[in-house]
């Protein structure tokens, strides 16, 4: 029996400390599942004020100096994640993190001008905590980075050429966000000029944090098997497909899980009427409560479609607007909670204003409403153009809400379209469409509405959904296998060098 695998897991958002999307859900739940599987995990994130406030049992671990000459010491504060108790380390640098707004943008939706420094420091701190320069005694064997904000960490380890370095794993949650900055940031962030090239940090004449992570990490993962294939093609690779193809032996797709502690209708404190998965009477009560709360016509038999999503092009939310006239003609209702693209926000506000009893729109981020819509809705609309994994379909399954979704990425890996055969063999759990356009989406909505009217088959679809188990344990075991392949503890080949990192 070896000692527990020590993993430093770093991410720019972690539920319940700070969240803008699914990355936070994963960064809160996966470390907890890894800990449950016996790993010794610490989560590292920036010391945003709300994160410092929400973390429990805080104490100072040590000082990291002022690597970028910002003015002021960077401290590491240790705490615990509420509920799971997983240890967290917060990178406390008030000059970079102590401000209002969100993690990436100000309150007006503009990117913070110093994002390269904000996430450069997160990456630098992650790398530092893996070396002899760390103020902490605890030294990880694996550094697990997530998305572009942490992409420079493996690059720092390469630049420093430290003797004992951990195995590095980089998870792509969304390849469309790449963290590109001007070339002048290469030196500002402390890298030698020779690392700025095609065989390194450079991506079409910019410094790309994502490229750095993909180039310098030992292993690459992404959040569904289908997306792992998709991102190696020009249609989905956002320009990085070539590098991923080159590294395909080191790339694996591991499906995300759902945190059923947070997303369980039976224990959900946000619900007026908590109910057991599969309890249709309980669900109907929540639907009535939601209709009342949102000012929709109180009608138990009217199909209520919900959207819980960032409002962006990637989520295909414009297709919901395009399909709305048809949806209204079918007599269905729509409830949406979301925030993002201003044009989409205005579009939905306008429809809600002209159809208040049929369409309810809440622009903004609301954890309670997200849960209430999941419980009160009959169908969850997810016409994503691409979707690395998607988590809301997992929540929908548990809450008895049927996804109507475009078959892409993780949605393709988790949804089974309703047809004669799949209904008969009990695998149908949603309605999917193949070509991402308003017509195809509308057809899927029409099929869903038609079946909703037939109670028996509808119940079968619900049953297939809530019978599925997407808990994190299985995925955590897969991540542990990846870690072990790098530390020589398992069946892996123990190679610790990313192919792309070899000398040119």
364 dihedral zone (left: phi>0; alpha: psi -120 to 50; beta): left
261 binds ligand ADP (CB under 6 A): no
Torsion sign over Cα 151, 152, 153, 157: positive
Tokens of 128: 């530092």
Chain residue whose CB lies nearest ligand GLC:
22
Which of 105-113, 211-219, 257-265, 384-392 is the region at the interface with ligand GLC (rule: CB under 6 A)?
384-392
C-alpha closest to that of 225 among 278, 172, 182: 172
DSSP string, 172-229: ES-TT---EE-THHHHHTT--GGG-STTTTEETTEEEHHHHHHHH-SEEEES-HHHHH
Torsion sign over Cα 181, 187, 190, 195: positive
Binder among 310, 447, 463, 495 for ligand ADP (CB under 6 A): 310
389 binds ligand GLC (CB under 6 A): yes
Q: Distance (Å, rounded) from C-alpha 66 to C-alpha 199?
A: 29
Query: Could you tell which of ligand ADP, ligand GLC, none binds residue 130, using a CB distance below 5 to 8 A set by kind?
Result: none
Q: Is 300 exposed, middle or buried (0-12, 13-18, 19+ CB in 10 A)?
A: exposed
Q: Distance (Å, rounded) from C-alpha 250 to C-alpha 244?
A: 9
173 binds ligand GLC (CB under 6 A): yes
Which of 121-129, 334-342, 353-361, 483-491 is the region at the interface with ligand ADP (rule: CB under 6 A)?
334-342
Q: Distance (Å, rounded) from C-alpha 475 to C-alpha 457?
A: 31
Binder among 30, 324, 337, 448 for ligand ADP (CB under 6 A): 337
Write the CB contacts of 82 (distance below 8 Å, at least 6 apart in sequence). Answer: 16, 54, 55, 56
22 binds ligand GLC (CB under 6 A): yes
Which of 56-64, 237-245, 335-343, 388-396 is the region at the interface with ligand GLC (rule: CB under 6 A)?
388-396
16 binds ligand ADP (CB under 6 A): no
Residue 3, classed as helix, strand or coil, is coil
Query: Could you tell which of ligand ADP, ligand GLC, none binds residue 392, using a CB distance below 5 to 8 A set by kind?
Result: ligand ADP
Q: How far is the CB of 276 from ligand GLC (least distance, A)?
A: 26
Q: How far is the CB of 478 from ligand ADP (least distance, A)?
A: 18
223 binds ligand GLC (CB under 6 A): yes
Strand positions, DSSP E, 332-415 = 333-340, 359-363, 379-382, 402-406
Q: Distance (Å, rounded) from C-alpha 374 to C-alpha 258?
A: 14
Binder among 388, 430, 465, 498 for ligand GLC (CB under 6 A): 388
74 binds ligand ADP (CB under 6 A): no
Instruction: Work out the angle at residue 310's Cα, subtended by the Cα atoms of residues 245 and 410, and round it to the nearest 5 degrees.
Output: 40
Q: Distance (Å, rounded) from C-alpha 181 to C-alpha 209?
A: 8
Tokens of 101: 């707004």
Q: Distance (Å, rounded) from C-alpha 256 to C-alpha 7?
A: 18
Q: Is 36 exposed, middle or buried (0-12, 13-18, 19+ CB in 10 A)?
A: middle
The owner of tokens 């123990």 is 494
Binder among 73, 367, 421, 434 for ligand ADP (CB under 6 A): 367
Tokens of 176: 């469309």
Q: Which helix or strand (DSSP H or E) is residue 376 part of?
A: helix 367-376
21 binds ligand GLC (CB under 6 A): yes
Helices assigned H by DSSP within 237-279: 241-246
Q: How many CB atoms sit inside 10 A of residue 202's CB?
A: 18
Binder among 200, 303, 338, 377 for ligand ADP (CB under 6 A): 338
Q: Of the two residues 26 and 157, which places its CB atom closer to ligand GLC in the complex? A: 26
Q: Of the two residues 337 and 486, which places its CB atom closer to ligand ADP in the complex? A: 337
Q: Of the two residues 53 and 111, which places its CB atom closer to ligand GLC in the complex? A: 111
Q: Distance (Å, rounded) from C-alpha 391 to C-alpha 413?
A: 12
Query: Could you tell which of ligand ADP, ligand GLC, none binds residue 84, using a CB distance below 5 to 8 A set by kind?
Result: none
Q: Of the two residues 46 and 316, which places its CB atom closer to ligand ADP in the complex? A: 316
- Site residues for ligand GLC, 394-413, by CB under 6 A, read 410
Q: Of the two residues 394 and 466, which places its CB atom closer to ligand ADP in the complex? A: 394
174 binds ligand GLC (CB under 6 A): yes
Q: Of the two residues 92 and 387, which places its CB atom closer to ligand ADP in the complex? A: 387
Check if the beta carbon of residue 192 is closer than 8 Å to that of residue 186: no
Q: How far is the CB of 99 from ligand ADP (least distance, A)?
A: 22
- Site residues for ligand GLC, 311-330, by CB under 6 A, read none
Binder among 5, 14, 18, 26 for ligand GLC (CB under 6 A): 26
Q: How far is the CB of 26 from ligand GLC (least distance, A)?
A: 5
Check if the beta carbon of residue 82 is closer than 8 Å to that of residue 44: no
Size of the site for ligand GLC (CB under 6 A): 14
Size of the site for ligand ADP (CB under 6 A): 18
336 binds ligand ADP (CB under 6 A): no
Binder among 7, 370, 381, 476 for ligand ADP (CB under 6 A): 370
392 binds ligand ADP (CB under 6 A): yes
Q: Which residues bind ligand ADP (CB under 6 A)?
A: 21-23, 25, 308-310, 337-339, 365-367, 370, 389-392
Q: Which residues form the interface with ligand GLC (CB under 6 A)?
A: 21-23, 26, 173-174, 223, 256, 387-391, 410
């Amino acid at each position: 029996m070896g000692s527990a695998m020590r993993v430093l897991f770093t991410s720019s958002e972690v539920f319940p400390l700070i969240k803008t999307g699914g990355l936070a859900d994963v960064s809160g739940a996966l470390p907890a599942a890894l800990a449950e599987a016996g790993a010794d995990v610490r989560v590292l994130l920036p010391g945003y004020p709300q994160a410092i406030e929400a973390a429990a049992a805080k104490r100072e671990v040590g000082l990291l100096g002022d690597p970028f000459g910002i003015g002021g010491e960077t401290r590491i504060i240790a705490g615990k994640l509420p509920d799971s108790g997983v240890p967290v380390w917060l990178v406390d640098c008030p000059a970079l993190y102590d401000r209002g707004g969100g993690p990436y943008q100000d309150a007006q939706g503009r990117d913070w001008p110093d994002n390269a420094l904000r996430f450069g420091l997160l990456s630098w701190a992650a790398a530092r905590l893996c070396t002899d320069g760390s103020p902490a005694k605890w030294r990880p064997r694996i550094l697990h980075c997530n998305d572009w904000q942490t992409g420079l960490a493996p690059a720092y380890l390469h630049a420093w050429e430290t003797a004992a370095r951990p195995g590095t794993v980089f998870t792509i949650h969304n390849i469309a966000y790449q963290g590109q900055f001007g070339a002048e940031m290469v030196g500002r962030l402390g890298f030698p000029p020779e690392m700025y090239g095609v065989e390194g940090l450079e991506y079409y004449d910019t410094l790309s944090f994502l490229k750095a992570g993909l180039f310098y990490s030992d292993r690459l993962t992404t959040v569904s098997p289908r997306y792992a294939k998709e991102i190696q093609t020009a249609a989905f690779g956002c320009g990085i497909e070539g590098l991923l193809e080159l590294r395909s032996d080191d790339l694996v797709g591991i499906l995300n899980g759902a945190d059923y502690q947070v997303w369980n209708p039976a224990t959900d404190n946000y619900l007026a009427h908590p109910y057991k998965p599969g309890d249709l009477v309980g669900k109907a009560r929540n639907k009535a409560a939601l209709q009342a709360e949102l000012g929709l016509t109180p009608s138990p038999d009217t199909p209520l479609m919900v959207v819980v999503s960032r409002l962006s092009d990637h989520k295909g939310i414009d297709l919901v607007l395009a399909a709305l006239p048809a949806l209204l003609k079918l007599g269905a209702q729509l409830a949406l909670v979301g925030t993002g693209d201003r044009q989409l926000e205005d579009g939905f506000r306008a429809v809600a204003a002209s159809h208040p009893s049929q369409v309810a729109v809440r622009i903004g981020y609301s954890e309670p409403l997200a849960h209430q819509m999941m419980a009160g809705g009959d169908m969850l609309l997810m016409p994503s153009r691409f979707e690395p994994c998607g988590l809301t379909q997992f929540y929908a399954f548990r809450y008895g809400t049927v996804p109507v979704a475009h078959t892409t990425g993780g949605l393709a890996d988790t949804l089974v379209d309703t047809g004669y055969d799949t209904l008969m063999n009990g695998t149908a759990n949603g309605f999917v469409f193949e070509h991402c356009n308003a017509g195809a989406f509308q057809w899927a909505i029409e099929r869903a509405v038609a079946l909703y009217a037939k109670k028996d088959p509808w119940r079968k679809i619900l049953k297939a959904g809530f019978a599925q188990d997407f808990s994190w344990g299985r995925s955590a075991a897969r991540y542990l296998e990846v870690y072990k392949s790098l530390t020589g503890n398992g069946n892996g080949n123990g190679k610790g060098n990313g192919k792309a990192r070899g000398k040119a």
